[in-house]
Structures are given as C-alpha cells and as structure tokens.
C-alpha cells in the first residue's frame, strides 16, 4: 500500500514530555511535504495552540482542532465547524456551577478564542504555559448573548470530581460528548465530534481513502483514528490497551517514534 497522508496527535505524540518537537520529527514532516504527502495534526487543542507547534516546525499544514469539531486546511480555511448549541451550552454551564461552583475551572473555546472567567486562576496559567497561548477573560452569558458559540468546553478539576462530572453530566446531556481526556480534564463537545470524523472530512478534502492513511497517537481519545487509518501507530508511551488496539507500535514521544516508524516503512529516508 502506498500511503499518501499522515495524521498525528500532538501531546504525547508529536511533542516530547517537555512540550517541544524533536528535530527528527520536523525533518520527517518536511520530507513528507516535499513528496506531496500531507502531514495533519489532530488534537483537542484550539487552532492557536496547534500553530505554536507548526511554528516550531516552520511549516504550514492542515489541522483538525477540538478533537474534530473544527477542521482547517493548510491556509486556515474552514472545512468543518461544529459548535455546541446555545441552549446546551447555557444548560451545561448552569449545572456545573450548581454542583461544583468552587471546584471546577470552565474553559470556553470558540474558533480561535479561549475564554475563562478568571485569567489569574492557577490551572489556567498552567495551561497557558503548556500551550503557549493566552486566555481571555469573559462572561460566558455575554458570549452566548453575542452569538459566540463554543466548539468545546473544557473543565479543569481534581480527579475524583472529574470522574463524577463525566458520569453525572453524561447522564444529563446524552446529546453531548462528555469525556475525560486526562484525570483532571473533562471535555464537552457536540455528540457527533470525534477525531475519526475530522479525519474523514480531511480525507474527502484531499480525495483520499482511509486505507491510504497513517495515524499516530498515544491515548484513549486517539483510538477511533488509529482504528480508522490504514495503519494506526501507537507511541510506546501509550497505555497497553491502546497499544493492543493499534496495528503497530513505535518508540515513545521522547525517542524519535514518528521518524523511526516512517523510516521503517520507507516513507522518509
């Protein structure tokens, strides 16, 4: 099979544990682009936080943001844009504040905007340091009144509350996709959103089929895209369940995993 497109998760995959891109990964991406093989970043991150990665590699490439809710081509033209409805946004924020007012930090992501109610919050500052993007202070009710609908809501909290929120909100809002992306992070999006669906949109954009693609990932929220791709490659830092589901396993995100696999299948030199 001649593979014609490569998809990759960011955190724990393209980025090292210190949140940077390995030189070998940058070399591999640039060689793929020279061969007219698109390299597409797929992440729960907002576009601006993905661009910090593409800037580090010095490339302009397509991206699948918010776990599939916002899909952009290499010129940042929108190919797909899925929002949470105003009614659902207002209702879920109301429930979060009712049950966990002082225990949860809500992040409101809309297009290229990241909004919070307190930019000084330690959890927000920590996320800013990781993503190298600045949050903006805003009133969520005012955003809704202005017609600014979110692609994603992200809740930051303690592991026990995060687990409780996933269960309770999942039962309250079956029309939404509510899942933990880490022990302390809960993501809320439209039910139809997934990395695999985002990849399907990108494949259609390029006129390619799933079996012509390779996907790299390291966590449970990458499973659907690893299963969809012609070859789903798990990083060695992935949980065992993810590695068992993947069709191949490569070295971890700190030891040239992406480059070594692409070299092994002779897609790069």
241 is catalytic: no
- Selected catalytic residue, list 9, 190, 222, 224: 9
189 close to 67: Cβ distance less than 8 angstroms: yes
The candidate with the shortest Cα–Cα distance to 229, out of 248, 244, 243, is: 248
257 close to 44: Cβ distance less than 8 angstroms: no
115 close to 108: Cβ distance less than 8 angstroms: yes
Dihedral sign from CA coordinates of 44, 50, 52, 58: positive
Q: Phi first, then psi: what are they for 213, rounded to 5°?
A: -115, 155
Residue-wise over 204-223: b if at least 16 C-beta within 10 A, else e? ebeebebebbbbbbbbebbb
**73, 203, 210, 216, 255 from 213: Cα distances, Å:** 17, 9, 5, 10, 23
- Active-site residues, by number, are 9
């Amino acid at each position: 099979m001649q593979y014609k497109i490569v998809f990759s998760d960011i955190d724990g995959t393209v980025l090292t544990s210190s949140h940077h891109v390995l030189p070998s990964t940058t070399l591999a991406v640039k060689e793929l682009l020279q061969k007219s093989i698109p390299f597409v970043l797929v992440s729960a991150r907002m576009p601006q936080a993905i661009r910090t990665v593409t800037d580090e590699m010095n490339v302009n490439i397509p991206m699948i943001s918010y776990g599939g809710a916002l899909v952009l081509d290499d010129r940042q033209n929108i190919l797909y844009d899925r929002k949470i409805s105003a009614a659902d946004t207002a209702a879920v924020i109301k429930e979060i504040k009712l049950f966990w007012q002082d225990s949860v930090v809500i992040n409101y992501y809309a297009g290229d905007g990241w909004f919070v109610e307190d930019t000084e919050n330690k959890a927000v500052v920590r996320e800013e340091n990781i993503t190298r993007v600045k949050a903006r202070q805003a009133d969520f009710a005012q955003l809704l009144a202005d017609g600014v609908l979110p692609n994603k809501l992200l809740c930051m909290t303690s592991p026990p509350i995060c687990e409780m929120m996933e269960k309770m909100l999942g039962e309250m809002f079956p029309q939404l996709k509510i899942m933990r992306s880490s022990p302390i992070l809960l993501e809320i999006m439209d039910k139809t959103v997934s990395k695999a669906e985002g990849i399907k949109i990108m494949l259609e954009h390029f006129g390619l089929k799933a079996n012509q693609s390779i996907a790299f990932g390291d966590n449970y929220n990458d499973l659907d895209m690893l299963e969809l791709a012609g070859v789903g490659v798990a990083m060695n830092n992935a949980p065992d369940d993810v590695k068992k589901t993947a069709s191949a396993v490569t070295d971890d995100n700190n030891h040239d995993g992406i480059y070594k696999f692409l070299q092994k299948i002779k897609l790069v030199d």
